[in-house]
């Protein structure tokens, strides 16, 4: 499950089977959005619910399977529920009947490991109110909001809404600008956008649309042309652009056509800075110079898509890496947020796509095992710039200086 283009805060609902997680979603939303049943295990796979919560605004609530599910199928459901931690901004842990034990403690450990803020709700208080001793233990130990309520009978919802709002990090509402800090009022940005087999029929790809919109949001002027027109057009363009952004596939063409005094980068590198692990990309990219025969490369695509005969991630990058390094390299390709097929330590390098369809948190969590294991990570655009010998120029708009000579062999 991907957070995708939903910029709204994502809130996950967790707890044991039949604790009233679905009832709580209906209670918060004031609508019958989730199926409620007395049968334990009604919710099997995580289910997104888009809603408007008064006092909070638009959010995505994610209803999950019980953390105490049993058997092989139950274990798979629990694993899927835990995967949701990679995409949510906040969590609600639902307990009932004053039950709190290993299931909940392990889940809280996972919240904290993934830097997910959370609160605890003791549900079904009409049947069994929260024991004062348990309340004191939970509040003392975890120091998070603890609400005692009955989602079925209803009560004053404001305490719960206030608690939920207080646990949603401000970063869940903010969308960092792609290039707002690189341009000033009235500046023009030239976008070089090849129209090839991978371009969707009748429209631009998402990173291009996002970048154009970002220029307009920052009171700039967006100019768009194909790579075949850039040579003649940039000579006639007056005033000259303050920045040129190219598709990574046209890096060499753009580098040759755009005068050196004009900053040049790519859509993918813009995304790498906005929502990727940019500092670790800067550290990891130069390790492309040290690949050896037999090294295995993990290429992470953030979405699933039809693979064309000249696919950027599965065809072009391996070809360019092979030509650059002169090494025989092995590759694993993983689309969406699917599991990595091998231990992360089997890889010499991880290359992440731009990530236009997912959030920064998803990318950071996706790369976390590699970073913690000391495996170098980079991004499509930064890797392409490196193997083409124009890496320093491509990152200069963000670093403010060149990192060394453009010689990588």
Q: Is the pLDDT of residue 104 over 80?
A: yes
pLDDT in tens, 344-353: 999 999 999 9
* Residues near 49 by beta carbon (within 8 Å), at least 6 away in sequence: 25, 29, 33, 34, 60, 61, 62, 63
pLDDT for the residue 41: 46
Q: What is the dihedral of CA 225, 231, 235, 237, to 10 degrees?
A: 0
Q: Which fold has domain 278-399?
A: Rossmann fold (3.40.50)
Taking each continuous run of H as one helix and of E as one strand, the counts in the chain are: 14, 14
Name the pairing type of β-strands 57-63 and 47-53. antiparallel
Looking at domain 10-172, its CATH superfamily turns out to be: P-loop containing nucleotide triphosphate hydrolases (3.40.50.300)
Please give the average per-residue pLDDT across 194-210, as a whole number.
Answer: 75
Helix (H) or strand (E) holding 39: none
CB 353 within 8 A of CB 304: no
Domain 188-269 has CATH 3.40.50.2020: no
Q: Is the pLDDT of residue 83 over 90?
A: no
Q: Annotate 290-342 with DSSP letters as a single string.
A: G--TT-EEEEE-SS--PPPTT-IIIIIHHHHHHHHH----EEEEE-TTPPPSS
Q: Annotate 242-269 with DSSP letters as a single string.
A: SEEEE-GGGHHHHHHHS-TTS-EEEHHH
Please give the average per-residue pLDDT across 362-374, as a whole number.
Answer: 91
pLDDT for the residue 296: 98
The proportion of the chain whose per-residue pLDDT surpasses 70, expressed as a percent, equals 87
* Residue 350 burial by Cβ neighbours in a 10 Å radius (0-12, 13-18, 19+): buried
Handedness of CA 255, 256, 260, 263 (dihedral sign): negative
Q: Where are the domains of the chain?
A: 10-172, 188-269, 278-399
Which residues are 393's β-sheet partners?
none
CB 344 within 8 A of CB 369: yes
Among 6-20, 148-162, 328-342, the minimum mean pLDDT is found in 148-162
Q: Between residues 291 and 248, which one has the greater pLDDT?
A: 291
Q: Between residues 141 and 355, which one has the greater pLDDT?
A: 141
The pTM assigned to this predicted structure is 0.68
Buried/exposed 38-55: b ≥16 CB within 10 Å, e otherwise: eeebbbbebbebebebee
* Residue 63 burial by Cβ neighbours in a 10 Å radius (0-12, 13-18, 19+): buried
What rounded mean pLDDT belongs to the chain?
Answer: 86
Q: Is the pLDDT of residue 43 over 90?
A: no
Q: How far apart are the two ends of the chain, measured CA to CA in Å? A: 40
Helix (H) or strand (E) holding 166: helix 158-167
Which residues are 352's β-sheet partners?
300, 379
CATH topology of 10-172 equal to that of 278-399? yes
CA–CA distances in Å: residue 188 to residues 228, 241, 266:
20, 5, 16
């Amino acid at each position: 499950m991907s957070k995708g283009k939903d910029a709204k805060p994502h809130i996950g609902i967790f707890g044991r089977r039949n604790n009233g997680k679905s009832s709580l979603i209906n209670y918060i939303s004031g609508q019958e959005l989730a199926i409620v049943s007395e049968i334990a295990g009604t919710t099997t796979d995580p289910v997104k619910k888009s809603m408007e919560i008064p006092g909070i605004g638009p959010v995505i609530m994610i209803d999950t399977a019980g953390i105490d599910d049993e058997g092989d199928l139950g274990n798979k459901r629990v694993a899927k529920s835990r995967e949701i931690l990679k995409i949510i901004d906040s969590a609600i842990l639902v307990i009932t009947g004053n039950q709190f034990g290993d299931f909940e403690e392990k889940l809280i450990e996972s919240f904290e490991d993934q830097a997910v803020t959370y609160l605890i709700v003791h549900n079904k208080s009409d049947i069994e109110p929260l024991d004062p001793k348990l309340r004191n233990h939970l509040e003392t130990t975890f120091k998070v909001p603890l609400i005692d309520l009955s989602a079925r009978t209803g009560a004053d919802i404001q305490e719960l809404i206030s608690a939920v709002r207080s646990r949603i990090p401000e970063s869940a509402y903010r969308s960092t600008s792609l290039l707002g800090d690189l341009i000033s009022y009235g500046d023009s940005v030239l976008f070089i956008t090849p129209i090839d087999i991978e371009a969707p029929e009748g429209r631009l790809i998402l990173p291009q649309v996002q970048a154009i919109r970002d220029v307009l949001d920052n009171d700039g002027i967006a100019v768009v042309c194909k790579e075949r027109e850039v040579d003649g057009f940039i000579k006639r363009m007056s005033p000259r652009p303050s920045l040129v952004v190219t598709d990574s596939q046209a890096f060499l063409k753009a580098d040759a056509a755009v005068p050196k005094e004009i900053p040049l980068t790519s859509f993918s590198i813009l995304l790498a800075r906005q929502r990727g692990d940019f500092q670790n990309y800067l550290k990891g990219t130069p390790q492309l110079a040290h690949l050896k025969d037999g090294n295995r490369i993990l290429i992470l695509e953030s979405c699933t898509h039809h693979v064309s005969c000249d696919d950027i991630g599965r065809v072009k990058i391996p070809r360019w890496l092979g030509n650059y390094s002169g090494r025989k390299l092995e590759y694993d390709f993983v689309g969406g947020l699917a599991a990595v097929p091998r231990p992360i330590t089997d890889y010499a390098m991880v290359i992440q796509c731009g990530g236009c369809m997912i959030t920064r948190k998803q990318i950071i969590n996706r790369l976390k095992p590699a970073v913690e294991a000391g495996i170098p990570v980079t991004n499509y655009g930064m890797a392409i710039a490196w193997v083409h010998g124009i890496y320093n120029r491509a990152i200069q708009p963000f670093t403010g200086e060149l990192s060394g000579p453009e010689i990588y062999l």
